[in-house]
Amino acid sequence: MTVLEARGLVKGYGHVTALDGTDFEVRAGEILAVIGDNGAGKSSLIKALSGALIPDAGEIWLDGARMHFRGPIDARRAGIETVYQDLALAPAMSIAENLFLGREYRRAGVAGSLLRLLDRSRMQREAAVHLAQLGIGIRSITQAVETLSGGQRQGIAVARSAAFARHVVILDEPTAALGVKESGMVLDLIQRVRDRGLSVVLISHNMPHVFALADRIHIQRLGKRAALVRSCEIAMADAVAVMTGAIQGAEMRTSE
């Protein structure tokens, strides 16, 4: 079953066309990789799906209902969470505070409604549960994010998205600038997010990671979807060839 779908998205910036009638779909409980050369329109596509960009034309559908995202908050309310490369973490704040950043719990009664005091104990308890569910080992839920390694920070950002997503988690280059060991930790984490029943959209230039994780691969070229294939049905070299235009997507068998 298709969870998130785009039909004929168009986005232009003056004389530059970033999206030229591109289509997109991700099914329930799958990991879909999005690959393409620089300038292929990957970022614009993901921004449109996450509400950060309003397309000039085309449609976005979520669980069979047409969406009209006016901004990222609309997409988040609909159950789509996105982790960009900058992670959007506050380094000096604790892990628990970062997990609930922008969604803080307030204390009951006057303390919360008038004094606007936060319920830190509840956030710490729930943050610990979310991290445990994803197998993320942290020394203390109250330690500052700036004390964590790159892989751990990525884990916190992914855990925050998984905690609040109802349908789709979009990950933009989640292993960029990470070492081999930390990349492996993040790849395992992505699989655990999928195992919780969420669909995962993975944007990556790392082809070994794409083929290790993805059920299907969306290949973007020149603002359009050049091919949509099962990762088990295409060689890595052929995927790169479609990305670069050496092989036309129409020459390949696309997934059903």
Q: Are residues 122 and 212 in the same domain?
A: no
pTM for this predicted structure: 0.90
Considering the domain architecture, whether residues 129 and 154 belong to the same structural domain is answered as: no
- The total number of structural domains in the chain stands at 2
Same domain, yes or no, for 120 and 172? no
The answer to whether residues 115 and 67 belong to one domain is: no
Alpha-helical segments (H) within the chain? 42-49, 72-78, 95-99, 110-113, 120-133, 150-164, 180-195, 207-213, 236-244
pLDDT digits (tens, 9 = 90+) for 4-21: 999 999 999 999 999 999
Domain-embedded: residue 35: yes
Give the model confidence (pLDDT) of 157-191 as tens digits.
999 999 999 999 999 999 887 888 889 989 999 99
Say if residue 116 is in the same domain as residue 229.
no
- Choosing from 106, 127, 143, the residue where a domain stops is 143
Residues 153, 47: one domain?
yes
> Is 247 found in the same domain as 162?
yes
Q: Are residues 84 and 125 in the same domain?
A: no
Q: What are phi and psi of 58, to 5 degrees?
A: 105, 175
Give the residue-averaged pLDDT of 197-221. 96
Q: What is the domain range of residue 237?
A: 2-90+146-251
Task: Give me the CATH number covering residue 49.
Answer: 3.40.50.300
The pLDDT of residue 254: 46
Please name the residue that has the structure tokens 């292993």. 175
Let me know if residue 83 belongs to a domain: yes
Q: Is residue 256 part of a domain?
A: no
179 plus 247 within the same structural domain: yes
In a domain? residue 21: yes
Do 124 and 232 share a structural domain? no
Residue found under tokens 């729930």: 126
* Domain termination residue (choose one: 128, 143, 158): 143
The distance from CA 158 to its chain's CA centroid, rounded to whole angstroms, is 8
- Rounded Cα distance, 88 and 101, in Å: 10
Tell me the per-residue pLDDT of 129-152, one tens digit each, with 9 for 90 and over: 999 988 888 889 999 999 998 889
User: What gap in Å lies between CA 62 and CA 163, rounded to an integer?
Assistant: 19
